[in-house]
């Protein structure tokens, strides 16, 4: 057997456990969902499915709620991704310094990422409340007018604040990236007289672009799928409808499936989201060659 | 290569979107959107102990001959059916094991979708039953009910007919299930202390108020200290805000004699004066801060406020007397509390309907309908029914069990006196569109919420909700017809 064939067999046999699980529990349900999105599946009529062609997809583009919620989702994503990537990186730069108690700070900033979403929403509701809420308390102490954080005008801002509170989750991978930058590069730069700021701009940032790139991609994927936070920020249960500005796309799909039993339409909505995620990711990928710096050559 | 591994990770992550979005969300309290108005089950502390008794005599014809042990799955919650009760049942019926399955509304929807739902399905009689019947999920129990020695038909209160549905009208046709208990869910409980603080007299409990009168009262009971509210007048429910909701609207319409659905359920029209009056009245209440709402952004729930002596009235049914009796702060001065009859629409007829009637049906797809029935009979007519009635967390469905309700304190006596009167007005049911089911709640919220913030107007809201509801109804109807 040729060396290459051997290696190929080894490769596939090693990834096969993951692959088998993915096919059974990932790919198959996905494709079945794709099939259902072309039917009139209503949650009870699995034995009497009718082929509807592209009707559900067509409906999504004429459904004012779907388009509205997609717009709101892109809006949230447009703020959430850049800000959370920047905050995650900024925190990592600070936490990469050798100061006393740095591991305590690292834990503190990472903590929001391990708090369950439900618990963090309940906590933020108290913060945003107008009745003894902490945020309005601070505003009135410094003499600013109180606002309705969960009302029409500020609900999305509040959602973003809550999401960005979890931006410390990116610290871990950013720190790993920072630790991977060879120390001698910094030494060489210092000898050449580069200031700390210049070292950050011309050394750290370019070398961190692969990590930033990864965070941007994962951020987009995650951000387009947000649904639990906006629902629970205004409601008390998952079938509650969020306040209109926070009616995001995934919430709409969730509502269609579980409040209206429009399973087929919900599947179509999710496949459209999948395509949107794919398209956005491809866009980011194609731009990556202009701004992502790899130290090694790419295959 | 690195690029590709990122790409692969990305696709996998995206796959999570598509392989079932209900996977990691068990956080919510997940009660069905439709029956949210009645959490009769919040405290259901069944005492358990010596259950079983009279159920053993039931007609378990089908089960005796096989000898094999079958498992009956149900999503009746463990708060409503204790381990001790199950043990008693299993002892009396060695051929049946009972398994409680904890499901939220989303998981149940998924199980129904895949044909994997429990044998005995817990649901809201008012909001879910017609929908389950038209979808062919509910087993017709008429013959079993008529021959049952445990559940005697002539002992049942009219309210149990909320589990009858002939395809068009609730209350008529075959029997599909029973409520475990029920309440006059749109009645009002008050705290006299707060009436005194506002210098307002408690209304006469023998005559129902109209809803506009309730709102006026709520305004008088709301006391402000500058910008801050010292006490509110009204809570719309124990778990949320003082805002209108779909269930509450249906009670108002029932009293006003208005049905937004066409006779065959094929369409709805919200463009009716009564709907507009209802929404106007409530938007005005929101703007006047009579309770916690989206505009004043007070995140304290109605129930919390009620027990903190910060809201004078709360819209809730008889079951809430159980909450009051069991509250540490309230039980020391029960005489301050009382129930007022269910309000009516202006010039409307008096109705005191149930807004939930949580109970169960037997799944038509159950492989063990006989054993499921044995369990059903015991749970609804046997010892658990007595246990439920004596806690006062809900009203029994049997005339003969009414005596078991708490009746010792002055509070109990006041509540029971109002209740006796209310019972005369419980034979009408909320007019729920079977195709819209729980969806009405969401559509209503979508169009009414912007009104509080002045982001829309009433006519837009009415036409919007009519349009959305009709789309949902038409689609559901098509799917039902295509499957028949």
Q: Which of A33, A64, A70, A131 to mutate to test the interface with B (most CBs of B within 10 A)?
A: A131
| Chain A contact for B291 (CB, 8 A cutoff) | no
Beta bridge mates, B231: B223
- What's the confidence (pLDDT) of residue B168? 87
- What's the confidence (pLDDT) of residue B186? 97
| Chain A contact for B244 (CB, 8 A cutoff) | no
- Pick from B106, B115, B437: CB nearest A238: B106
Among residues B12, B10, B17, which one has the least CA distance to residue A285? B10
For chain A, where are the alpha helices, taking DSSP H only?
3-22, 28-36, 55-62, 64-95, 102-114, 117-128, 134-141, 155-165, 171-179, 183-191, 196-199, 205-224, 228-234, 249-258, 263-291
| Chain B contact for A139 (CB, 8 A cutoff) | no
| Pairwise CA distance, residues B444 & A102, whole Å | 51
B14 CB neighbours in chain A (<8 A) are 221, 274, 277-278, 281
Q: What is the CATH number of domain B188-340?
A: 3.40.190.10
B269: left (phi over 0), alpha (psi -120 to 50) or beta: beta
Beta bridge mates, B448: none
Strands (DSSP E) found in B40-161: 70-74, 96-100, 120-124
- What's the confidence (pLDDT) of residue B49? 34
Strands (DSSP E) found in B351-472: 358-362
Residue A126 in tokens = 């108290």
Rounded CA Rg of chain A: 24
The conformation of residue A241, written as its DSSP 8-state character, comes to P
Pairing of strands B120-124, B358-362: antiparallel
| Pairwise CA distance, residues B131 & B435, whole Å | 6
Angstrom distances, CA of residue A187 to CA of A178, A202, B12, B94: 15, 14, 40, 80
A48 CB neighbours in chain B (<8 A) are 482-483
| Nearest residue of B to residue A251, measured between CA atoms | B21
Pairing of strands B96-100, B170-175: unpaired
Angstrom distances, CA of residue B92 to CA of A91, A125, B265, B360, B367: 64, 49, 44, 22, 21
| Pairwise CA distance, residues B338 & B199, whole Å | 17
A36 CB neighbours in chain B (<8 A) are none
- What's the confidence (pLDDT) of residue A297? 61
Identify whether the C-beta of residue A158 lies closer than 8 Å to the C-beta of residue A76: no
Q: Please report the residues numbered 34 through 93 in chain A whose beta carbons come closer than 8 angstroms to any beta carbon of chain B.
A: 34, 40-48, 50, 65
| Chain A contact for B5 (CB, 8 A cutoff) | no
Angstrom distances, CA of residue B74 to CA of A11, A215, A277, B333, B440: 47, 44, 39, 39, 27
Q: First and final CA of chain B: distance in angstroms?
A: 54
Q: Where in chain B is the domain with CATH 3.40.190.10?
A: 2-183+355-405, 188-340
Among residues B163, B73, B71, which one has the least CA distance to residue B123? B163
- Place domain A66-285 in its CATH homologous superfamily: MetI-like (1.10.3720.10)
Element (H, E) at B465: helix B458-482
- What's the confidence (pLDDT) of residue B23? 37
Among residues A159, A129, A132, A151, which one has the least CA distance to residue A231? A159
Q: Strand, helix or coil at B149?
A: coil
- Cα dihedral A236, B283, B195, A129 sign: positive
Angstrom distances, CA of residue B483 to CA of A36, B115, B143, B462: 15, 15, 26, 32
Question: Which residues, other chains included, contact A257 with Cβ-Cβ below 8 Å and sequence gap of 6+?
Answer: A263, A266, B21, B22, B109
A125 CB neighbours in chain B (<8 A) are 299
What predicted TM-score, i.e. pTM, was given to this entire model?
0.87
| Nearest residue of A to residue B442, measured between CA atoms | A241
B231 CB neighbours in chain A (<8 A) are none
Q: Give the pLDDT confidence of A6-55 residue by residue, as tens digits.
A: 999 999 999 999 989 999 999 999 999 999 999 999 888 888 899 999 99
Among residues A150, A143, A146, A151, which one has the least CA distance to residue A135? A146
Q: Give the pLDDT confidence of A217-249 residue by residue, as tens digits.
A: 999 999 999 999 999 998 888 889 999 999 999
Question: Which residues, other chains included, contact A104 with Cβ-Cβ below 8 Å and sequence gap of 6+?
Answer: none
The count of CB pairs under 8 A between chains A and B is 204
| Chain A contact for B476 (CB, 8 A cutoff) | yes
Given the structure tokens 């109605």, which residue do they identify? B302
| Chain A contact for B478 (CB, 8 A cutoff) | yes
| Angle in degrees, 0-180, between the axes of helices A64-95 and A249-258, rounded to the nearest 10 | 130
In this complex, do B439 and A260 lie within 8 Å of one another by their Cβ atoms?
yes
- Pick from B2, B19, B113: CB nearest A298: B2
- What's the confidence (pLDDT) of residue A298? 56
- What's the confidence (pLDDT) of residue B83? 94
Q: Please report the residues numbered 143 through 162 in chain A whose beta carbons come closer than 8 angstroms to any beta carbon of chain B.
A: 148-153
- What's the confidence (pLDDT) of residue B58? 38
In this complex, do A254 and B17 lie within 8 Å of one another by their Cβ atoms?
no
* pLDDT band at residue A196 under the 50/70/90 scheme: confident
Whether domain B2-183+355-405 has CATH 3.30.230.70: the reply is no
- What's the confidence (pLDDT) of residue B51? 35
Residue A3 pLDDT > 50: yes
Furthest-apart CA atoms within chain A: distance in Å? 79
- What's the confidence (pLDDT) of residue B463? 97
- Mean predicted confidence (pLDDT) in A280-290: 92
- Mean predicted confidence (pLDDT) in A98-110: 88
pLDDT tens, residue order, chain B (484 aa):
455 544 444 444 444 444 444 333 333 333 333 333 333 333 333 333 333 333 333 344 444 455 689 999 999 999 999 999 999 999 999 999 999 999 887 788 888 888 889 999 999 999 999 999 999 999 999 999 999 999 999 999 999 999 999 988 899 999 999 999 999 999 999 999 999 999 999 999 999 999 999 999 999 999 998 878 999 999 999 988 999 999 999 999 999 999 999 988 999 999 999 999 999 999 999 999 999 999 999 999 999 999 999 999 999 999 999 999 999 999 999 999 999 999 999 999 999 999 999 999 999 999 999 999 999 999 999 999 999 988 888 999 999 999 999 999 999 999 999 999 999 999 899 999 999 877 899 999 999 999 999 999 999 999 999 999 999 999 999 988 988 7
Q: Strand, helix or coil at B135?
A: coil
Q: Give the pLDDT confidence of A120-138 residue by residue, as tens digits.
A: 999 999 999 988 889 999 9
A210 CB neighbours in chain B (<8 A) are 2
Taking residue A185's Cβ as centre, other Cβ atoms within 10 Å add up to: 13
């Amino acid at each position: 057997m040729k060396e290459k064939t051997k290696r190929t067999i080894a490769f596939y046999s090693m990834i096969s456990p993951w692959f088998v699980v993915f096919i059974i529990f990932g790919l198959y349900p996905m494709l079945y969902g794709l099939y259902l999105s072309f039917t009139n599946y209503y949650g009870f009529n699995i034995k009497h499915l009718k082929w509807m062609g592209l009707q559900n997809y067509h409906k999504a583009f004429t459904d004012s709620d779907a388009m509205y919620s997609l717009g709101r989702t892109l809006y949230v994503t447009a703020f959430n991704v850049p800000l959370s990537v920047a905050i995650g990186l900024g925190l990592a730069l600070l936490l990469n310094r050798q100061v006393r108690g740095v591991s305590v700070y690292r834990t503190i900033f990472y903590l929001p990422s391990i708090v369950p979403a439900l618990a963090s929403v309940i906590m933020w509701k108290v913060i945003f409340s107008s009745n003894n809420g902490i945020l309005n308390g601070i505003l009135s102490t410094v003499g600013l007018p109180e606002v309705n954080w969960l009302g029409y005008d500020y609900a999305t801002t509040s959602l973003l604040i809550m999401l960005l509170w979890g931006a410390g989750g990116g610290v871990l991978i950013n720190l790993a990236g920072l630790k991977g930058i060879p120390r001698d590069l910094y030494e060489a730069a210092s000898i050449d007289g580069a200031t700390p700021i210049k070292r950050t701009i011309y050394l750290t940032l370019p070398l961190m672009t692969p990590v930033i790139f990864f965070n941007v991609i994962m951020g987009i994927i995650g951000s387009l799928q947000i649904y639990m936070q906006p629902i629970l920020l205004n409601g008390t249960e998952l079938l509650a409808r969020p306040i209109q500005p926070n009616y995001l796309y995934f919430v709409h799909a969730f509502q269609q499936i579980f409040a209206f039993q429009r399973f087929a339409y919900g599947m179509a909505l999710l496949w459209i989201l999948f395509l949107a995620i794919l398209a956005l990711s491809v866009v980011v990928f194609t731009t990556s060659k202009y701004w992502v710096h790899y130290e090694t050559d790419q295959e | 290569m690195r690029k590709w591994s990122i790409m692969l990770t990305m696709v996998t992550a995206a796959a999570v979107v598509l392989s079932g979005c209900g996977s990691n969300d068990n956080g919510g309290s997940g009660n069905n959107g439709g029956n949210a108005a009645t959490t009769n089950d919040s405290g259901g502390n069944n005492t358990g102990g010596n259950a079983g008794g009279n159920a053993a005599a039931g007609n378990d014809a089908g089960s005796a001959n096989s000898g094999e042990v079958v498992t009956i799955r149900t999503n009746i919650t463990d708060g409503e059916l204790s381990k001790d009760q199950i043990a008693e049942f299993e002892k009396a019926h060695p051929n049946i094991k009972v398994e409680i399955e904890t499901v939220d509304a989303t998981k149940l929807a998924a199980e129904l979708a895949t044909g994997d739902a429990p044998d005995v399905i817990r649901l809201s009689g008012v909001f879910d039953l017609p929908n389950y019947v038209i979808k062919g999920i509910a087993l017709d129990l008429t013959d079993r009910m008529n021959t049952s020695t445990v559940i005697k038909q002539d002992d049942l209160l009219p309210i149990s007919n909320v589990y009858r549905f002939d395809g068009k009208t609730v209350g008529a046709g075959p029997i599909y299930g029973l409520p475990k208990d029920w309440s006059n869910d749109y009645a009002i409980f008050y705290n006299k202390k707060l009436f005194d603080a506002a210098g307002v007299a408690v209304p006469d409990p023998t005559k129902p108020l109209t809803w506009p009168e309730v709102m006026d009262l709520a305004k008088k009971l709301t006391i402000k200290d500058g910008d801050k509210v010292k006490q509110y007048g009204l809570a719309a429910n124990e778990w949320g805000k003082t805002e209108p909701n779909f269930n509450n609207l249906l009670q108002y319409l029932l009293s006003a004699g208005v049905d937004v659905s066409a006779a065959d359920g094929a369409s709805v029209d919200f463009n009716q004066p009564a709907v507009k009056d209802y929404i106007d009245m409530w938007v005005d209440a929101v703007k006047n801060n009579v309770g916690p709402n989206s505009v004043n952004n007070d995140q304290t729930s109605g129930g919390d406020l009620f027990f903190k002596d910060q809201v004078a009235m709360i819209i809730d049914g008889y079951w809430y007397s159980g909450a009051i009796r069991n509250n540490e702060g309230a039980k020391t001065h029960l005489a301050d509390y009382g129930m007022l009859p269910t309000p009516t629409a202006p010039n409307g007829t008096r109705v005191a309907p149930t807004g939930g009637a949580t109970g169960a049906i037997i799944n038509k797809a159950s492989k063990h309908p006989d054993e499921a029935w044995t369990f059903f009979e015991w749970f609804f007519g046997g010892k658990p029914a007595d246990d439920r009635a004596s806690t006062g967390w809900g009203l029994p469905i049997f005339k003969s069990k009414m005596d078991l309700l708490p009746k010792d304190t002055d509070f109990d006596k006041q509540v029971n006196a109002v209740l006796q009167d209310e019972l005369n007005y419980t034979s009408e049911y909320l007019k729920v569109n079977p195709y819209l089911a729980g969806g009405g709640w969401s559509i209503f919220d979508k169009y009414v919420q912007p009104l509080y913030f002045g982001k829309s107007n009433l006519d837009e809201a009415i036409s919007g909700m009519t349009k959305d509801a009709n789309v949902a109804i038409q689609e559901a109807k098509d799917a039902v017809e295509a499957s028949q």
